[in-house]
Amino acid sequence: MYMTLVVYQNCSATNPDPGCWTPGDTCEAALARVDDFGTELLGWIEAYSLKGVHLDWEFGYGCNVTCHQQLWGHVSKKLRASGKELAISVDDSKGTTIDRSATNWTYETDWYFFKEYADVMIDMGTYPGGWAKGISWPASQYLKPYPCPGNASRTCGVEGQVLDMIKYGVDPGYQLQTGLWIDGCFPNGTMTTQGWTEQSLQDFLQLLDKQGVKVVTIWTSDAFLLAPSRVTCPWFMPALRKWILG
């Protein structure tokens, strides 16, 4: 189990007031005391016998990739020295241009700059989510790889994201962990809310086997508090179980 780091902000493109606070400000503040920050973080992780820390910085304004590299590149060395991990949630669903100087959504989409110090990169883009409508969502309609719209050097489609990240140097054996959002099941029981059908899920899992991807992470909005029959389609979890057992 990881400790998830939550980053506060009250600043956005519609609220750029001088007194607002962005994720970039949080990064700069932590970097200014990086040694103490890393020691404190490691202390929390060890106190609760956790595997490491998970970054899920889902704010799209005021980011600073250079600071992120400096801060977490340093902290990850401290974590690794104690046998702990740094996991980062990323999103490759739209295949946007990777840009260290960008200030919007860079903590997720500019994952390329984090791969040297991230032990785990969880691709939330393979959920897939409605934010990638017509590109990678719904899953069954945009499963197969194809050149990303407006950026043919990148690969879109749910399977395309996996191939894209491997192409750019993410290790499929453990570092690359594809995400699956399993919520919902249409009344006839054939499709999840994210567009997964039984056949498309099986095809995707076969692609993971072929590429050597060993880990899938699962997201569900209710944290499995509801009965399994209400969480997802009845074929979803058996398909995952079959994949895991080989």
- Please tell me what DSSP assigns to residue 224: T
**What are the two backbone dihedrals, phi and then psi, of residue 126, each rounded to the nearest 5 degrees?**
-85, 5
H/E run at residue 43: helix 34-47
Q: Is residue 72 scored above 70 in pLDDT?
A: yes
% the chain with pLDDT above 90: 73
User: Which of helix, strand or coil describes residue 232?
Assistant: strand
Strand partners, 177: 122
- Please tell me what DSSP assigns to residue 146: E
With 0.85 as the threshold, say if the pTM is over it: yes
Q: In this structure, what token pair is assigned to residue 195?
A: 């567009």
Higher-scoring residue by pLDDT: 106, 27: 27
- Give the confidence band of 103 by pLDDT, cuts at 50, 70, 90: confident
Per-residue model confidence (pLDDT) at position 230: 67
Q: In this structure, what token pair is assigned to residue 149?
A: 């719209």
- Mean per-residue pLDDT over the chain, rounded: 92
- Give the confidence band of 22 by pLDDT, cuts at 50, 70, 90: confident
Cβ contacts of 115 within 8 Å, gap of 6 or more: 121, 168, 169, 170, 175
Contact 155, 146 (CB under 8 A): yes
Sequence length of the chain is 246
Q: Which of 11-20, 80-89, 183-192, 215-224 has the lowest mean pLDDT?
A: 11-20
Per-residue model confidence (pLDDT) at position 137: 97
Q: Is residue 91 scored above 80 in pLDDT?
A: yes
